[in-house]
Amino acid sequence: MTGFQRLLTAGYRVFFLAAGLFAVFAMIVWEGWLGIHAAGGMVSDMPFAMAPHIWHAHELIFGYAAAAIAGFLMTAAPSWVGSEAARTRFFALASGVWLAGRLAVWFSGSLPAGLVMALDLSFLPVIGAKVAVLLLKRPKPRQMVFLVVLAVFFTANLMVHLEWAGLTADTAYGGLRAGLVTLSALIMVLGGRVTPAFTRNAMLRTGRETGLPRDPLPLAVAAIAAALALPVLTMAGLDGPVFAGVAMIAGLSGLARLTGWRGVWTLNQPILWSLHLGYAMNAAGLIALGLAALGLGSEIAALHLLGIGAVGGMTLAVMSRAALGHSGRPLVAPGPLALAYALLPLAAVARSAASEWPALYYPGVLTAGGLWALAFTLYLAELWPLFTGPRMDAGKETK
């Protein structure tokens, strides 16, 4: 079996590789355009129809993150219901649909807006339908919530395309914002499950039986319910004190949960502390977003704490852990991968500083983009053999 054929045998292989490659490509395009303008030049012709900063935001939310979500769901969902993984034909189709969406948006300057919309919006229904078929075999509310999240995420992207097609007047920004806070809500749900669970498992493997992670139900309910409400509030156009209050509840409850997960114990295990760090960045980003809604700080800075630190950090942590476990490798992050984990929070801080202090805009944004691209280049360099090579027997945990 060739590397390309093996790539299409598992969701984590094809989608986690696609996500990593696209993360680097999309950032290089944005950095290149911005760097030319920072140097006093001008780029007036791009193949896409929308403004470069809008393309940048859309593709990292609905391009990169959508691939990461698909890889996770198509890897985890079969194990949830005791089913076999999807066939190679499905992965070929689904990855082709994802790529068609990326190409359609890239060449949107010369394509009909309706065609761009149809191609880009097709991916999530393909993944959602497959996940629904699997989950309906053994319906559990705990897992069915992912279908709700996919539906909200799809609706947010639809809002963007409706404005691009000229069918609505002012829904694109709201759709982008709703898409990002939907990803934040997903981190509250998924990160809130795996972070304490994996930490507990690791502690038990060392023989420790006391001082294990705790996750009080009231805090979990408050954090998740508030986070899930944010995309709905965004799409409804509700801002100001209401949005601020809900965002603050989500973020503060998330931080309170985190204090009981024994993060200090994980400091010598990057494969674990990366999960804690991604979750912490998510909570901090939500608090910053709530404060910005009250006029305290920059909303753009808060959104980048979420986009880079939370979404980027948590997806990198989950993708790499899943790739190691499902390919049969030990759950130990190599040095370059651990460095990648650390670079993304630095990128988030640099990008947020660029929005808070206009004098730092160009150096801050360019630094953040460079750190992002370096982090995902390290990820690709370390894990490429896992995506295209045969499974090994070392390591047995595949969660």
Considering only residues 40 and 224, tell me which one the structure prediction assigns the higher pLDDT: 224
Domains of the chain (ranges; CATH) run 3-388 (1.20.210.10)
Sequence-ordered list of residues with C-beta below 8 angstroms from that of 37, at least 6 positions apart, any chain? 43
DSSP 162-219: HHHTTSSSS-HHHHHHHHHHHHHHHIIIIIHHHHHHHHHHHHHHTT--SS-----HHH
**For residue 239, what pLDDT is reported?**
85
Ramachandran category for residue 150: left, alpha or beta (phi over 0 → left; psi -120 to 50 → alpha): alpha
| Pick from 95, 1, 23, 13: nearest CA to 325 | 13
| Whether residue 341 has pLDDT greater than 90 | yes
Q: How far apart are CA 61 and CA 153, in angstroms?
A: 10
Mean pLDDT of 134-159: 91
Query: What per-residue confidence (pLDDT) applies to 393?
Result: 62
Please report, for residues 9, 62, 228, 325, the alpha-carbon distance to residue 34 in angstroms, rounded to integers and kept in the order given: 38, 21, 34, 38
Residue that is written with structure tokens 């590397």 in the block: 3
φ, ψ (nearest 5 deg) of residue 63? -105, -70
Residues 20 and 320 sit within 8 Å (Cβ to Cβ): no
pLDDT of residue 86: 81
| CA 162/CA 169 separation, integer angstroms | 9
How confident is the model at residue 396, as a pLDDT? 41
Q: What is the pLDDT of residue 141?
A: 79
CA 150 to chain centre: 13
CA within 13 Å, CB half, 80: 21
Q: With a cut of 80, say whether residue 308 has pLDDT above it.
A: yes
Q: Is the pLDDT of residue 394 over 80?
A: no
The average pLDDT across 106-117 equals 97
137, with CB counted inside 10 A (0-12, 13-18, 19+), is: exposed
398: confidence class by pLDDT, cuts 50, 70, 90: very low
Q: What pLDDT does residue 399 have?
A: 38
pLDDT at 116 over 60: yes
pTM score, whole prediction: 0.95
Give 261-302 pLDDT, tens digit per residue.
999 999 999 999 999 999 999 999 999 999 999 999 999 999
Determine the average pLDDT of the residues in 70-90: 89
How many residues belong to the chain?
A: 399
Between vectors from CA 373 to CA 371 and to CA 375, what angle results, nearest 5°? Answer: 65
Using CB atoms within 10 A of its CB, is residue 168 exposed (0-12), middle (13-18) or buried (19+)?
Answer: middle
The secondary structure element, H or E, covering residue 245 is: helix 241-258
Higher pLDDT among residues 345 and 209, named by residue: 345
Dist CA 369 CA 350 (whole Å): 9
Contact 314, 278 (CB under 8 A): yes
Tell me the C-alpha to C-alpha distance, in Å, between residue 79 and each of 70, 85, 86, 90, 223.
Answer: 15, 8, 11, 17, 26
